[in-house]
Structure 1
Amino acid sequence: MTVAACASVSAGLVTYLFRMRYRAGGLMGTSALLCIFVLAIAVGAISRLLPGATAGGILLLLEAVTAIVAFVVGIAIWPMIPRLVGQPTRQEANEANALLMEGQAANRRLIDQLSDLNRDLESRVAGRTAELETVQHRFEMALDGSDISILELDARLVFTWVYNPPRPLTQADVLGRQPADLLPPVEAAELIAIVRRVLAGGAPERFEISFTLGGRQRWFEGFIEPVIVNGSVTGVLTAAIDVSRYKEHEREMRDILRELTHRSKNLLAVVQGIARQSAEGCPEAAGFLAPFGGRLLALSAAHELLVQNGWRGILLDEVVTRAWADVGGTSTIRVDLDGPRVLLGPDVAQNVMLGAHELVMAAAKQPPDRVSISWAMLPDGGFRLEWRMFGTEAVEISDFGQRLLRTVLPVVLDGEVTALDISEAGFAYGVRGRIGPQLQLAQRSA
């Protein structure tokens, strides 16, 4: 019975070892030792069943070997005790399995949440993509067929992106090129200087450039802004607007205005001629023709200056200088001008020109030693003009000039006369006005 039990246990352990030979973990080492131990007991039991005649020394040797094997197994089993103790029980395995199931359920819930978040993110990305496509479509619709070109240059001054290039250029003509490859040397150098300033300082700048493109002169205006990535300027973005048709229209308008000025001067000459012819045979009209012709000449000069300035107005110093230049006999008079760059609107400029003409005519009749003409913008929004003639005690201003200086000029300047008299020091005329659309400080480009 002992041998049968040992054989059964050994067979069971061998079966366990055979089935676990390719699987990790388990009790392979412990099972092998137990199998050896049981086999040793079985061999010992068998040796005792052998007949006494055959036993002798062999039996004693077999029992000794069996005892040694059993002893070795008994010693070798102890290092495996901690591992055996560390093996989980069925309850612990069930609890671990339950925790594992809970973890798997939590992972599935997390996966479901991540899937929901991913679907929401994909939906948002799709929405933003649609919005960007809509914005891009509007951008393209706004620029296609327009006179606006968008170009991007990198820090090497190479065109890296372009949209709606000016005809007849194409994207292939621009991409990978530099301004010097597309523009004349002078214009290219000017544009490159602006781009380098923007790259260095990071401040946008405007530009205006003209060159021949497509067989005709073209004008472009626009601005250059820096492209900033991670706080560093990596290039510039340029928006160029083709203003050629406006420039051509402006040139046509200047030609028309010059022709209108020419015809107006002819008309004034005709009026002057009619007045002269009408005065023949009337000796009393002779004193009328000279001042009348001078006033017509002053109006013609004002009109000519307005045309030259695009009818935007005339600088006050230009009005005074022209008034002195058109009256003979005044070249020896010293005239001092002092004042800022003040732009007179068309209505004010014509009346100021007439008033200056009357004062210059008075100076031509009785030349003073010196004339001082000064003007200034006042802090309260006012304007002051003073016209003084020194070294003369007899200044005669016509009745027309008196009415013009006393009544008309204060009205057009929205102010009042401060002085119009003669004294021992000389003649003085002063008028105040208000700063507004018809009287303002001129910009340097004016």
Structure 2
Amino acid sequence: MVHRLTWFEPQRGDEQLREFFITALIDMSASLTLQDRQGEYVCITTLPSRWSLPAGMQPSDEAIFGPDIGARLVELKAGLSKSGDRAELEIEAGDDTFFEFRCRLVEMSNGELHLITIVLDRTEDRRRERLLRALLREVSHRSKNLLAIIQSIASQTARYSGTLEMFLGKFRGRLHALSQSQDLVTDSSWRGAYFRDLLAQQVERYVPDNRDLVRAVGDDILLTPNASLHIGLALHELIVNAVSHGDFVARRRPIEVRCTRVDGEKGPEIRIQWKEPLDKTDGESLEASRAARFGSTVLERVVPSSVNGTAAHTLEAGEVRYELRFPLEATD
């Protein structure tokens, strides 16, 4: 027996109540059917339009839902024998739609057993579940990539650091640059990061009072998540080197950073150029330290390899020049 509070105003007509219940069921993407103990249908409400009953035909599971679904429902309901028994079945009805059937045997007030079936449209739920699983797989994939990058940074930084203090200082800076780039990627729903945003992060961190001395020109291109992380790291190395060994701040000599689309041998490419003016003494100091610097490994090997590109890091004509080229497809 069902014992739940149910009340309605006696003055309200049956038609109004019927409209209320049907509207509520539709809003819940639910349908109800009622059958007696012999399986004869007593009531059917709000079934989706995909299921119908030909005029003059006696309703049955197979007549309404078709032979395949109908046979499964008949078998499911046959397993219910006493009041309170219940069973559930989820089916794919075609066109990427999913429905859940909840069957329950109940005893009415007159003592007779009836079978109530609730049909719920689970299509949107299943689509959300698939999307969530895809997102989780993507998170796992990107997390593994990020951990691999961190491991590489830690290993290479240790190789080129003479003391623990030197290692910690360099590693923390590189890790922070990586996390800043990752923040931009995350904020864009993993679409990537714009080049100028990556540059602005590093300029803001290391020369916040002289941001005008690092001038971005050319195109502001949206880079892929992978390219964003590695190019962010390259910009970190370039700006740190400039602050540590260059004279651009003291002498107010601006650095030009250009990002452009160009035609390459195999198709469109992205070209990133860094031009930093140096005095002769600054250039000699920088050249002498390059052989033992992980920064050079990042700029000349790690970054270009990660974006399937090529790079050149040179001192010439009183300038530090860095040029990175990689396929445009890597930014889509």
Q: TM-score with structure 2 length normalisation?
A: 0.46
* Larger relative contact order (CA 8 Å, sep ≥ 6): 2
What TM-score comes out, normalization by structure 1 length? 0.35
